[in-house]
Amino acid sequence: MNNIIDGKKISQDIKDEVKAEVAQLNARGVEPCLAVVLVGDDPASHVYVRNKIKACDYTGIRSVSINLPADTEESELLEKVEELNADPSVHGILVQLPLPPQIDEDKVINTIDPDKDVDGFSPISVGRLSIGLPGFKSCTPAGIIELIKRSGVSIDGKNCVIVGRSNIVGKPMAMLLLRENGTVTVCHSHTKDLRSITSQADILVAAIGKPKYFKADDIKEGAVVIDVGMDRDENGKLCGDVDFESVSNKAGYITPVPGGVGPMTIAMLMKNCVEAAERL
Residues that bind ligand NAP (CB under 6 A): 140, 163-166, 168-170, 187-191, 194, 207-210, 228-231, 261-262, 265
Report how far residue 39's alpha carbon sits from residue 37's, in angstroms, rounded to the nearest whole number: 7
- If the CB atoms of residues 114 and 258 are measured against ligand NAP, the closer one turns out to be 258
User: Which of 150, 204, 171, 209 is CA-nearest to residue 11?
Assistant: 150
Residue 100, preceding bond cis, omega within 30 degrees? no
Nearest approach, Cβ of residue 79 and ligand NAP (Å): 29
Catalytic residue among 117, 119, 218, 227: 119
Element (H, E) at 23: helix 7-27
- If the CB atoms of residues 98 and 157 are measured against ligand NAP, the closer one turns out to be 98
Using only C-alpha atoms, the chain has a radius of gyration, in whole angstroms, of 19
Nearest approach, Cβ of residue 111 and ligand NAP (Å): 22
- Is 220 marked active-site? no
- If the CB atoms of residues 124 and 228 are measured against ligand NAP, the closer one turns out to be 228
User: Which of 193, 198, 229 is CA-nearest to residue 212?
Assistant: 229
Nearest approach, Cβ of residue 30 and ligand NAP (Å): 28
Catalytic residue among 96, 137, 158, 227: 96
- If the CB atoms of residues 164 and 182 are measured against ligand NAP, the closer one turns out to be 164
Report how far residue 280's alpha carbon sits from residue 138's, in angstroms, rounded to the nearest whole number: 19
- If the CB atoms of residues 60 and 172 are measured against ligand NAP, the closer one turns out to be 172
CB 212 within 8 Å of CB 200 = no
Query: Cβ-closest residue to ligand NAP?
Result: 166
- Is 52 marked active-site? yes
Burial class for 216, CB neighbours closer than 10 Å (0-12, 13-18, 19+): middle
- Is 102 marked active-site? no
Nearest approach, Cβ of residue 272 and ligand NAP (Å): 14
DSSP state of 29: T
- If the CB atoms of residues 68 and 147 are measured against ligand NAP, the closer one turns out to be 147
Detail the DSSP E strand segments found in the chain: 33-39, 62-68, 92-95, 159-163, 183-187, 203-206, 224-227, 231-232, 238-239, 253-254
Nearest approach, Cβ of residue 266 and ligand NAP (Å): 8
User: Which of 14, 278, 276, 2 is CA-nearest to residue 143?
Assistant: 14
Nearest approach, Cβ of residue 231 and ligand NAP (Å): 5
Report how far residue 65's alpha carbon sits from residue 78's, in angstroms, rounded to the nearest whole number: 16
Which residues are the active-site residues? 52, 96, 119
